Amino acid sequence: MRASFVLSEIGIGLRRNLTMTVAVVVTVAISLALFGAGLLIREQVSTMKDYWYDKVEVSVYLCGEGSNSTNCNGTPVTDEQRTLLQNDLQATPLVEKVYYESKQDAYARFKEQFKDSPDLVQNVTPDALPESFRVKLKDPTQFEVVASAFRDRPGVDEVQDQKALLENFFKLLNTLQLFALIIAAVQIFAATLLISNTIRVAAFSRRRETGIMRLVGASNLYIQLPFLLEGVLAGLVGAAFASGAIVALKAILIDRLLKPNFPITAYVGWDAVFAVLPLLFLTGMALSGLASFFTLRRHLRV
């Protein structure tokens, strides 16, 4: 099989169907870019979970003046209850560290959190904030074990898991990831149809040449290979554009915009990007190759 003949046939096919080839490249690029973005979003969600769950604390709020829970009945925690709770928390195997936060400490943290809302800070006094034990767990998923052990203890007003506050946020991110992958699947399906139609038109426009090749004894592989390579080439070019979009997403959106302006969490690194890029090329090649192969089997009958 002469490589020059195959390359010339590929060139002829691309020139004859340039508009459709461009449409295939654009559709493949968009679908693979969305697919890659979905994979990066999934990795970003996982990175943020690891970052935030490592910082999650369980807050054991103590009874204060006016507490209305059944444990408190308006009676503040006693020194004996406070000491016993602290000792028992420190002795719990699931607990890594225990920090005591007084009313003054809670007020100082409140002022720092709401420093941009001076009116709110002025209307809150240290006595309005409860004292608490802030507990860091060895495994944040074991919150309920610790909560059930201390929720009904004397002097405890409420046990709150910060992890629960993050669940809705992560559900939103997971929904965005699913949405991106669904759109990518629709785009990949559209790209498959375009590739199939492009190869079918190319085979039809060159039916006379392929008929002559069949008469002189050319094999199926020799006849079909230029068409297959046209589809694969379009898929590779689309994957290259998609890879460029993913690299730009990381370099511009994450590194230049999000990291400097929102340094409140961890972001995916370049290792995640480099893990996604080969998948885009493999998907582009497989998508284009399979679509071309099955189209040729059905339509290239000479």
Domain boundaries, the chain: 3-52+170-299, 56-166
**Residue 240: what pLDDT?**
93
**Residue 247: what pLDDT?**
93
Collapsing DSSP to helix, strand or coil, 133 comes out as: strand
Percent of the chain with pLDDT over 90: 7
**Residue 214: what pLDDT?**
59
Angle in degrees, CA 178, 179, 182, rounded to 5? 85
Mean pLDDT of the chain: 77
**Residue 12: what pLDDT?**
56
**Residue 59: phi, psi to the nearest 5?**
-100, 120
Q: Where are the alpha helices (DSSP H) in the chain?
A: 3-16, 18-55, 79-91, 103-113, 118-122, 143-150, 162-205, 207-215, 220-248, 259-261, 270-299
Q: What residues does 135 pair with on adjacent strands?
A: 58, 98
Q: Which residues contact 196 (CB under 8 A, 6 or more apart)?
A: 291, 292, 294, 295
Collapsing DSSP to helix, strand or coil, 101 comes out as: strand
Lowest mean pLDDT among 140-144, 170-174, 213-217, 221-225: 213-217
**Residue 13: what pLDDT?**
53
The yes-or-no verdict on residue 205 having pLDDT over 70 is no
**Residue 302: what pLDDT?**
45
pLDDT digits 0-9 by tens, 43-83: 887 788 777 776 677 888 888 776 667 777 777 888 888 89
CATH code that applies to domain 56-166:
3.30.70.3040
Q: Which two tokens stand for residue 103?
A: 């009313």
Residue where the block lists tokens 């968009």: 30
Nearest CA-CA partner of 275 in 28, 70, 36: 36
The yes-or-no verdict on residue 132 having pLDDT over 80 is yes
Predicted structure pTM score: 0.64
Collapsing DSSP to helix, strand or coil, 95 comes out as: strand
pLDDT digits 0-9 by tens, 29-45: 888 888 888 888 888 87
Give the residue-averaged pLDDT of 177-196.
Answer: 76
**Residue 234: phi, psi to the nearest 5?**
-60, -40
The yes-or-no verdict on residue 150 having pLDDT over 80 is yes
pLDDT class of 248 with cuts at 50, 70, 90? very high
Collapsing DSSP to helix, strand or coil, 70 comes out as: coil
How far are the Cα atoms of 14, 114, 174, 224 from residue 8, in angstroms, in the given order? 10, 69, 47, 14
**Residue 246: what pLDDT?**
93
**Residue 49: what pLDDT?**
75
How far are the Cα atoms of 23, 159, 226, 230, 296 from residue 203, in angstroms, in the given order? 18, 70, 10, 11, 8
The yes-or-no verdict on residue 1 having pLDDT over 50 is no
Cβ atoms of 63 and 156 within 8 Å: the answer is: yes
Q: Which has more confidence, 199 or 77?
A: 77
Quick count: other Cβ atoms within 10 Å of Cβ 19?
9
**Residue 278: what pLDDT?**
93
**Residue 117: phi, psi to the nearest 5?**
-125, 75
Q: Which has more confidence, 166 or 4?
A: 166
**Residue 204: phi, psi to the nearest 5?**
-65, -40
Percent of the chain with pLDDT over 70: 78
**Residue 151: what pLDDT?**
83
**Residue 277: what pLDDT?**
93
**Residue 25: what pLDDT?**
80
Give the residue-averaged pLDDT of 279-296.
Answer: 81
Return the amino acid letter for 63.
C
Element (H, E) at 252: none
Q: Which of 59-68, 151-160, 247-256 has the highest mean pLDDT?
A: 247-256
**Residue 76: phi, psi to the nearest 5?**
-70, 160
> 101-136 as b/e, with b when 16 or more CB fall inside 10 Å?
bebebbbeebeeeeeeeeeeeeeeeeeebbbbbbbe
Cβ atoms of 28 and 288 within 8 Å: the answer is: yes
* Separation of alpha carbons 40 and 250, rounded Å: 9
